[in-house]
Structure 1
Amino acid sequence: MARRAAATTAPAKPTVILGIDIGGTGIKGAPVDITTGELIGERFRLETPQPATPEAVVATVAEVVKHFDWHGPIGVGFPAVVKYGTVSTAANIDKSWIGKDAAGMIAEATGCSPVAIGNDADVAGLAEATFGEGKGKGGLIFLCTLGTGIGTALILDGKLIPNTELGHIELKGMDAETYAAESIREKEDLSWEKWAKRVNRYLTAIENLFWPDLIIVGGGVSKKAEKFFPLLSLRTPVVPAALQNEAGIVGAALWAAARL
Structure 2
Amino acid sequence: MKTTSSGTRILSIDIGGSSIKATILSQTGELMQEYKKAKTPKPATPDAVLKAISTLIRDFEPYDKVSVGFPGYIKNGVTCTAPNLGTNHWKGVDLAVLLGDLLKKPVRVANDADIHGLGVVSGVGLELVITLGTGFGTAMLMDGALLPHLEIAHHPISKKRTYDGFIGDKAYIEIGRKRWNRRMKQVLKVLKVVFNYDRLYIGGGNADELDFKLDDNVEIITNKDGIRGGARLWQLHREDVLRPENVRS
Judge same fold: TM > 0.5, yes or no: yes
Q: Percent identity at matched positions?
A: 34
Coordinate RMSD, CA, aligned: 2.1
- Of residues 151, 162, 180, the one that matches 1:175 is 162
User: 1:61-92 CA distances to partner (integer Å, 9 max, x unpaired)?
Assistant: 22233221435210000001111110011211
User: 1:31-61 CA distances to partner (integer Å, 9 max, x unpaired)?
Assistant: 11232x3211211211110000011111112
Equivalent in the alignment of 2:220: 240
Please, which runs of 5 or more residues in structure 1 have no aligned partner?
A: 1-12, 130-134
Question: Take 2:63 and 2:197, find their aligned partners in 1: how far apart are those partners?
Answer: 40
Equivalent in the alignment of 1:58: 50
Question: Take 2:30 and 2:61, find their aligned partners in 1: how far apart are those partners?
Answer: 19
Which residue identity does 1:58 align to in structure 2? Answer: L
**Preserved CA contact (<8 Å) 1:217 1:240:** yes
How much has 1:119 moved relative to structure 2?
0.2
Question: Take 1:69 and 1:110, find their aligned partners in 2: how far apart are those partners?
Answer: 13
TM-score by length of 2: 0.85
Which residue identity does 2:212 align to in structure 1? Answer: F
Question: Take 2:166 and 2:198, find their aligned partners in 1: how far apart are those partners?
Answer: 24
**Preserved CA contact (<8 Å) 1:75 1:254:** no
Pairing 1:165-244 to 2, within 5 Å after superposition? 165-173=151-159, 174-185=161-172, 187-191=173-177, 193-222=178-207, 224=208, 227-230=210-213, 237-241=217-221, 244=222
**1:100 and 2:93 aligned:** yes
- Where has structure 1 moved over 4 Å in runs of 4 or more? none
Question: Take 2:20 and 2:148, find their aligned partners in 1: how far apart are those partners?
Answer: 22
User: 1:200-253 CA distances to partner (integer Å, 9 max, x unpaired)?
Assistant: 21122222222111111011233x26x4232x5x6x732101xx0113421123
Tell me how many residue pairs correspond in the alignment: 231
**Preserved CA contact (<8 Å) 1:23 1:79:** yes
**1:143 and 2:129 aligned:** yes
**Preserved CA contact (<8 Å) 2:10 2:63:** no
User: 1:151-200 CA distances to partner (integer Å, 9 max, x unpaired)?
Assistant: 00001122111422222221112111111124421x21513x32111112
Equivalent in the alignment of 2:243: none
Which residue identity does 2:200 align to in structure 1? Answer: I
How much has 1:15 moved relative to structure 2?
3.4
Question: Take 1:160 and 1:52, find their aligned partners in 2: how far apart are those partners?
Answer: 28
TM-score by length of 1: 0.82
**1:256 and 2:241 aligned:** no
Instruction: Give the direction of change, closer, same or farther, for the CA distance of 1:60–1:256 in structure 2 (3 Å limit).
Output: farther
